[in-house]
Amino acid sequence: CTIVAHPSSETPLSALALAELGERAGLPAGVFNVLTGKASTIVGRMCEDARVRAMSFTGSTEIGRLIAAQSAPTMKRLVMELGGHAPLIVFADADLDKAVTIAIDAKFATSGQDCLAANRIYVQRPIYDRFCAAFARRIETLRTGNGLADDTDIGPLMHERGVKKVEEQVADALAHGARCLTGGKRDSAGPLFYQPTLLADVTDDALIMREETFGPVAAVTPFDSEDEVIARASATEYGLVAYVVTENGGRQLRMGRALDYGMVAINRVKITGAPIPFGGVKQSGIGREGSRHGLEAFTDLRYLCLDVA
């Protein structure tokens, strides 16, 4: 099947590099095509053209809804990996050092600019204060700077809009009674750099608990019971991934079943890979990427009934 890929105009180089690798590997000309330019013009034409039988989109839920609407007249197959709003749930029986390491990795990879990034961190009350203190100490060791440098942990955000969104969420959380334990402002490294930040006692009605952040800000809040945190963590239109840290085997299974997410990671962060059916539920997407399940959207089942009499 031939493919036309349209990368974001903000990050086009990886798709162009992939096309180069395909050419080196011997893909025939015209099988894998990369088209750069204005998204509204290019993607709109793709949606309208009946020759395009299926479309896979990775991006915001808002744009995903628009593509789905524009693709409806031609009844395209759609695979969509959309927004995330991942909860990270730490129970009192968790190993504290391990939980903090998981929180660092789940929140601050790619400076928080990741649909899999932990956006809401729920910590059971008996270890809440100790977790916040240990988490703050680890965050303060993160180094901000050139994203291509080996010793950098936090690089720049994508654009000024991203920084302003982070600033708005932090200000809103503080206005709702949250405490800033570390960070909380732009970094001196440059205008697109924001300090790795920890907000504690964040209320559920704060913007950061309702909207994806896409930046290096961790929002932490306490909880008491398993049933309570399941309800709070699932009370969102998003459902991509959830993280759980607990040493209780029975609870691991219960949380894996109860959380309303397409993927649940228990005591780990890394969950992606070629054999993995990557994808979410609700407003986080349609279908799966990867594994045999990821091929289903690009194949048609044909039923042949043969009379052999």
Catalytic residues: 81, 115
CA dist., res. 1 & res. 137, Å (int): 51
CB 239 within 8 A of CB 282: yes
| 3-state SS track over 116-127 | CCEEEEEEEHHH
CA dist., res. 14 & res. 205, Å (int): 38
Provide the residue type at 209 as one letter.
M
CA dist., res. 190 & res. 145, Å (int): 9
CA dist., res. 76 & res. 218, Å (int): 38
Q: What is the DSSP letter of 194?
A: B
- Hunting for tokens 């697109």 — which residue is that? 192
CB 287 within 8 A of CB 82: no
Alpha helices in the chain (DSSP H): 13-25, 39-48, 61-71, 96-108, 128-139, 160-175, 226-234, 249-258
Nearest to 238 by CA among 103, 78, 119, 124: 119
CA dist., res. 28 & res. 181, Å (int): 55
CA dist., res. 123 & res. 221, Å (int): 6
CB 127 within 8 A of CB 92: yes
